[in-house]
Amino acid sequence: MTSANLQRAMLLHCKPYRENSFIGDFLCEQSGRVSVFFRKSKKGTSLSLFNLYLVSLKQGQNELFFVNSYELDKSFDNLHGHFLYSGMYVNELLSHLLPRVEFEHSLFELYQLTIANLVDIQQQAEAQAAISLAVLLRNFELSLIDELGLMPDFLHSADEQTKIDANKSYYFVADTGWVSKPVLQTPIVCSGQLIHKIAQRDFSNKDDLAQTKQLMRYWLDQLLGHKKLKSRALFIQPKK
């Protein structure tokens, strides 16, 4: 395959369309999130989630692109258990929140690095892996929101425009930010000290990490319009 018109891409999701063909979404380094149509190769192989590919796309009707050719660049499709579910969760967030427009190159790099880190964390001891996984997901969620231009000020209160005081408590409003006075529409209350730590991505304390998870769960629920994510249900499957 020649290098002309090739770009790096990773498959976010796909479903069978007709015999030996599929429709899905790519996250592409240059084209952003695009809907694609592709067929199995002559060797019977097909595109897999999480892998990094070099692809050549051709514009079809409306917003659909045809995958002219593809080759595997890096393999990340050996995730399993909670690491697999986490990868699916990351893919779902991108599929629901990322518009079908060109975007900053840094977002593609964020996604690729997150998947690569999932593979690395999978090799850690169980206790350490659980902590590393939680930190990775919180960092991805915050970085995604920042890339989408939806990150509020973590240094000043939105209502009083004063610096966040580490010794005070603040209430989180998804479309506003941190406010100093109680509001009915939010269940999230955090100390100024925790808000500072989140801004610095300091998740060294387990209690802070647990509180940040609650914040992100509420925040993303607001951004998703209360849409339920299928991947979340996988984490709470009963053990056999």
Task: Enumerate the β-bridge partners of residue 9.
Answer: 28, 53
pLDDT of 238 reads 52
Per-residue model confidence (pLDDT) at position 3: 47
Taking the model in full, what pTM does it have?
Answer: 0.91
Task: Specify the pLDDT at position 59.
Answer: 86
Q: What is the pLDDT of residue 42?
A: 66
Q: Tens digit of pLDDT per residue, the chain (240 long)?
A: 444 579 999 999 998 887 778 899 999 999 899 999 988 766 656 789 999 999 999 988 778 899 998 999 999 989 999 999 999 999 999 999 988 766 678 999 999 999 999 999 999 999 999 999 999 999 999 999 999 999 999 999 999 999 999 999 999 999 899 999 988 778 999 999 999 999 999 999 999 999 999 999 999 999 999 998 989 888 776 554
How high is the pLDDT of residue 179?
Answer: 96
3-state secondary structure the chain: CCCCCCEEEEEEEEEECCCCEEEEEEEECCCEEEEEEEECCCCCCCCCECCEEEEEEEECCCCEEEEEEEEEEECCCCCCHHHHHHHHHHHHHHHHHCCCCCCCHHHHHHHHHHHHHHHHHCCCCHHHHHHHHHHHHHHHHHHHHHHCCCCCCCCECCCCCCECCCCCEEEEECCCEEECCCCCCCCCEEEHHHHHHHHCCCCCCHHHHHHHHHHHHHHHHHHCCCCCCHHHHHHCCCCC
At residue 232, the pLDDT reads 82
In the chain the first and final C-alpha atoms are separated, in Å, by 46
* φ, ψ dihedrals at 18, nearest 5°: -135, -175
Backbone angles phi, psi at 216, to 5 degrees: -65, -35
**Cα–Cα distance for residue pair 114/145, rounded to 1 Å:** 15
At 101 the pLDDT is 65
β-strand pairing of 177-179 with 169-173? antiparallel
pLDDT of amino acid 84:
96
